[in-house]
Amino acid sequence: MVACCPIVGLTALGAVLLLPERPEVWAAAAVAASAAALGAGRPSRNRAAAVLACLGIGFALGAAGSQRLAVRSASAFTSLPVHRVAFYGGVALADSTKTSDGGSFHRAALTHVSTDSAEASARGRAVLFDPSGRLLSRGQLFEAVGSLERADRTCTVDFSGAVARLAVRGFASRRLRLRWSVRQGLDRLIGRFGFPASSLFRALFLGVREEMQPRAAAAFERTGTLHVLALSGLHVGIISFLIYGLLFPLSGRWVKWVVVMAVLVFYLFLAGPRPSLTRAVLFLLFTGVARLLDRDRRPLNTLSLTLITVLMIAPQDAFSLSFQLSFLAMAGILTVGRWLAYLLAPYVPRLAGLPLSCTVGAQTAVLPLALASFGVFYPSAIIATPLLIPLVTLFLWSGLLFLPLAALNAAVAERIMALSMNGLYRSIMAVVGFLARFPGLSGPWVLYGWCGLVAAILGCLLYNAVHRRTWGSSRWITEAWITA
């Protein structure tokens, strides 16, 4: 620890010299100086010095990330006046998303703009609204007719605009063309499951919700279980457990882990780098490496490492609601969920207690943010989520195992798949539809109830610590992340 403190101090000093106007940098320097002072003292203070050193590094990295975003925003330009731009082109940075009124949003990087009489280069990120509802795949090159304007400085993009006409001109790379081709092929195979099961499988496997029936999507929303549709640790866990089962005949932990991670990285590439999905894959990657190397794999440490890694790659994700909800839910599972599972263990069977404790832990952690963002809390989610997890697992496993069968293009096979998948779909929607009848809660008293719940949990923990002097086994936590 003493050897690390000079490194932290030098890092903070360099940041102060390079970015003296940022307050985060001065905070990093002050924390680093405190860490160095503690680290030079008694060995018993090394742990406190380590915490301060990590805090100083966090401030420095945060300042660097903010500076990178500021530099990128300052370098955005259009060589022509923005208000005169009538045509522009670029490359799609992510798959387009549908809106409730039938339109679509495109996130793109602009490469050129033009007017009726001139054309010039451009640079910057833009969000474009297309009322026609046309969808772009990540990496597609496009030309558009429409308006363009500078975005507000508080936004994470540089420009916003509206599209009147859109034309696709190919792909930016062969890798992204391959991604589009694979997704198109999977889409055709999934279509053989029959509607509406195919629409739910697309949402659960590829994150494509545009084809879901509005009534089904509204039922998930009214039960507070939209997180089941958001690609996250639940989906990564389901896929990884299926792969581990198929690789059971193989020997060697390294071989299985490498195969599973290769499949999950390809799945991340195929579905897109969504914050919750990226978090889940990185969390599993770090946990697997620590396990294979016999290193510390305490879940909260692994989650912190995952958070740092994601923010170093894409610091703008910190402003994303899905990013915040994903990490909060995971932290709630690893803290409140862990303790609640220990308290329920003597009274509730493990198969029921684990999903219930994870659900309560996640809901406890995200409730204040969700209430501030959506204005309503659905208590039925506490019951719906444990009931949906086994059904969704069976639905995804069945669909993944049926995909090779769908490629055979046999009428009998299609009939079997359609009956099986739509039967599971009806089971899922029966649970969601029944629980959607219960109303949501809103108002400040919901937050007061949340504070009472947290106080009750802390009271139970304190009682347990005083009378039993133990916090219980944490072995189950290595599995609990899949429900985030």
- Which of the four pLDDT bands, split at 50, 70 and 90, describes residue 461? low
Contact predicate 203/229, CB 8 Å: yes
> Which residue did the predictor score with more confidence, 191 or 371?
191
pLDDT exceeds cutoff 80 at 322: yes
pLDDT exceeds cutoff 70 at 78: yes
Q: What is the pLDDT of residue 28?
A: 54
How much is the mean pLDDT over the chain?
78
Pairwise CA distance, residues 350 & 169, whole Å? 54
Q: What is the pLDDT of residue 177?
A: 93
Q: What is the pLDDT of residue 470?
A: 43
> Which of 14-23, 34-43, 63-72 has the largest mean confidence?
63-72
Helix (H, G, I), strand (E, B) or coil at 75: coil
pLDDT exceeds cutoff 50 at 155: yes
Pairwise CA distance, residues 13 & 156, whole Å? 29
Q: What is the pLDDT of residue 302?
A: 84
> Which of 79-88, 194-203, 353-362 has the largest mean confidence?
194-203
> Which residue did the predictor score with more confidence, 373 or 68?
373
Location of each CATH 2.40.50 domain in the chain: 77-172
pLDDT exceeds cutoff 80 at 401: yes
Structure tokens at 226: 């939209």
C-alpha closest to that of 110 among 174, 152, 163, 70: 163
Mean pLDDT of the region 39-65: 59
**Top-level CATH class of 77-172?**
mainly beta
> Which residue did the predictor score with more confidence, 43 or 437?
437
pLDDT exceeds cutoff 70 at 306: yes
Mean pLDDT of the region 230-240: 87
> Which of 110-124, 176-190, 437-451 has the largest mean confidence?
176-190
Q: What CA dihedral angle connects 221, 225, 228 and 230, to 10 degrees?
A: 50
C-alpha closest to that of 283 among 341, 240, 342: 240
Contact predicate 158/128, CB 8 Å: no
Mean pLDDT of the region 1-7: 47
| Residues present in the chain in total | 484
Q: What is the pLDDT of residue 11?
A: 52
Q: What is the pLDDT of residue 128?
A: 92
Q: What is the pLDDT of residue 138?
A: 92
Residue linked to tokens 């990013």: 323
Q: What is the pLDDT of residue 202?
A: 92
- Reported as a single tens digit per residue, the pLDDT across 184-222 is 999 999 988 888 899 999 999 998 888 888 888 889 988
Contact predicate 424/394, CB 8 Å: yes
Mean pLDDT of the region 66-90: 75
- Reported as a single tens digit per residue, the pLDDT across 95-126 is 998 887 788 999 999 988 888 888 888 888 88
- Which of the four pLDDT bands, split at 50, 70 and 90, describes residue 484? very low
pLDDT exceeds cutoff 60 at 17: no
- DSSP one-letter code for 377: B
| Secondary element (H or E) of residue 171 | strand 159-171
Radius of gyration in angstroms for the set of CA atoms belonging to the chain, rounded to a whole number: 25
Give the percent of the chain with pLDDT over 90: 16
pLDDT exceeds cutoff 60 at 154: no
Mean pLDDT of the region 460-478: 50
Least confident of 21-30, 279-288, 303-312, 386-395: 21-30
Q: What is the pLDDT of residue 247?
A: 84
Contact predicate 347/469, CB 8 Å: no
